[in-house]
Amino acid sequence: MAKKEIKKTTPTKGTKDLSLDFKGVWEYAPAPEDSKHITIKPQYDLFINGKFVKPMSKKYFDTINPATGVKLSEVADANEKDVDLAVKAARNAYDNVWSKMPAKERGKYLYRIARMIQERAREFSVIETLDGGKSIRESRDIDVPLAANHFFYYAGWADKLDYAFPNRKPESIGVAGQIIPWNFPLLMAAWKIAPALATGNTVVLKPSETTPLTALKLAEIMQECGLPDGVVNIVTGAGVTGAAIVNHPDINKIAFTGSTGVGKYIQKAVAGTNKKLTLELGGKAAHIIFDDAPIDQAVEGIVNGIFFNQGHVCCAGSRLFVQESVAEVVIRKLKDRLQTLIIGDPMDKNTDIGAINSQKQYDSINNYLKIAKNEGLDIYQPTCSIPSKGLFIRPTLLLNASQSHKVVQEEIFGPVLAIQTFRTIEEVIEKANNTPFGLSAGVWTDKGAKIFNLTTKLKAGIVWANTYNKFDPTSPFGGFKESGFGREGGLHGLMPYLNF
Ligand code: NAD
């Protein structure tokens, strides 16, 4: 390990610079993950009825590594006819095979899928990082193990639905159309497919157009594990393909995770039909630090809450509320911590912050930074180097934010933290709830009573206390208000796939 000298941060205009001089911070030698063991085909077709088939559209689109700009593969662009074939395959498999199969046999397939994800964990992690830009540490330690755990967890429920819902005789629904975003591609596929299959439904899933590869690799597992044809169908494409799923008359349930804007469109589209709907949408979480909090742990929690996965997390703690008496010390410690974060090659195991997922998202985040500047906010970014190529944005603090700022009201979905102060508990509850979203929140305090008081008053589906961004297949996840409705994970995650 060599020592590196990092230049002192430029003091933000109008604020006293209290940050440490970081002479002598350790620099790690590069530790890139190997990608020679993985195979990415030059072209991927649609996975329909257990086979990879050419799209009727005859069209393909590129999927690109956002850290390098290099094309990884081209992927089929499904049109309405392709979606119709996938729905027919799913209907046939539902009517003739899957809904008739004894529940414990369904469970065995789910266990098999879980084990095969574990066996191929390294391959999945590398492909997730190459296609999505997130650091290999996250893909390896969070996305892939959690995806396998979801299949394990729901495999266990498959033959115990009568115990899960005593005296209620739950029944499967039919064909589920599932549409997912790009921030946790494999994990979101697992969140959707595992409970649907465990409850006896069949699936047509569409991954995001910027991160289709791990869902297609998952399709390979579906083939290898002998899953009956048509039980899981994977169609790739953008919004038009998603809309074809939403509007297909033979789909019984839509499960959507993505932006609030598209969620609103989908809710209108299914209104008046008998399709069931769950929406997991955007967020603008409040992360609250009281003066009695363990400050160093809280700072680590804040960093994990917003800079993890480049801030591409629906439940990211993107609004920080610090009690006034500790604001100076918290901000100083935050700046110091940001100075030590490593931004760059997502394939390097030392990297904390990888690449922004797409050019569109990169432009959108930079546009919000411009808005913040025009709104007169003090912007702090560490002086660390970032690669000259690829889509990288330094972690950013917006220091003198207030409720009326656009960057406080809207979801940025990037590594940008807006900081406000508060004096009383009533004030922070009102400010935290003053948003159209209601997905998650975080509280740091030494007092259990304060935690219970806040968790009942914060309008958020998930509230973490003295920790942040912790996920578990046994815990339900979902929002209030414009963050959507319905729960995924846990016992609650079975309900949207059942009729009672
Ligand atoms: P997005 O809404 O742009 O796209 C999500 C998916 O919907 C993609 O597969 C896309 O192709 C598809 N889509 C786009 N237009 C469509 C249409 N008209 N009809 C049907 N499908 C359509 O969202 P994104 O940019 O991919 O993801 C980021 C958003 O997802 C953020 O707002 C984030 O908060 C949210 N998100 C929420 C959760 C949650 O659990 N609440 C989890 C992850 C991400």
pLDDT confidence tier of residue 25, bands split at 50, 70 and 90: low
- Does the active-site annotation cover 384? no
Encode pLDDT of 114-145 as tens digits: 999 999 999 999 999 999 999 999 999 999 99
Residue in 33, 280, 411, 482 annotated catalytic: 280
What is the whole-number distance in angstroms between the Cα of residue 217 and the centre of ligand 1? 21
Q: In terms of DSSP H, where are the helices of 184-259?
A: 185-198, 213-224, 239-247
pTM for the structure as a whole: 0.94
Tally of domains in the chain: 2
Torsion over CA: 141, 486, 185, 307 (sign): negative
Confidence check: pLDDT of 444 > 90: yes
Confidence check: pLDDT of 394 > 90: yes
406 domain-assigned: yes
What is the whole-number distance in angstroms between the Cα of residue 293 and the centre of ligand 1? 35
Q: How far apart are CA 244 and CA 466, in angstroms?
A: 43
Tell me, what CATH number does 418's domain have?
3.40.309.10
Residues of the domain holding 123: 43-281+483-499
What is the whole-number distance in angstroms between the Cα of residue 267 and the centre of ligand 1? 13
H/E element, 171: strand 171-172
Same domain, 379 and 233: no
Confidence check: pLDDT of 203 > 80: yes
Q: For the residues 135-158, what does the mean pLDDT come to?
A: 98
Mean pLDDT of the chain: 94
Q: Regarding beta strands 175-179 and 253-257, do their DSSP bridges make them parallel or antiparallel, or are they unpaired?
A: parallel
Ligand 1 pocket (Cβ < 6 Å) reads 179-183, 206, 208-209, 238-239, 242-243, 246, 257-259, 262, 265-266, 280-283, 314, 411, 413, 439, 479, 483-484
Q: How far apart are CA 382 and CA 394, in angstroms?
A: 7
477 domain-assigned: no
26 domain-assigned: no
Atom of ligand 1 nearest to the CA of 260: 32
Encode pLDDT of 457-499 as tens digits: 999 999 999 999 999 999 999 999 999 999 999 999 999 999 9
Tell me, what CATH number does 98's domain have?
3.40.605.10
3-class DSSP assignment, residue 353: strand
Nearest residue to 404 (alpha-carbon basis) of 371, 365, 358:
371
What is the whole-number distance in angstroms between the Cα of residue 261 and the centre of ligand 1? 9
Confidence check: pLDDT of 15 > 90: no
3-class DSSP assignment, residue 278: strand
229 domain-assigned: yes
pLDDT confidence tier of residue 28, bands split at 50, 70 and 90: confident
Q: In what order do the strands lie in the sheet with 416-422?
A: 379-380, 396-398, 416-422, 319-323, 286-289, 440-444, 462-465
Phi, psi of 422, deg, nearest 5: -150, 160
Q: Regarding beta strands 484-485 and 319-323, do their DSSP bridges make them parallel or antiparallel, or are they unpaired?
A: unpaired
- Does the active-site annotation cover 280? yes
pLDDT confidence tier of residue 190, bands split at 50, 70 and 90: very high
The pLDDT value recorded for residue 384 is 85
The pLDDT value recorded for residue 77 is 98
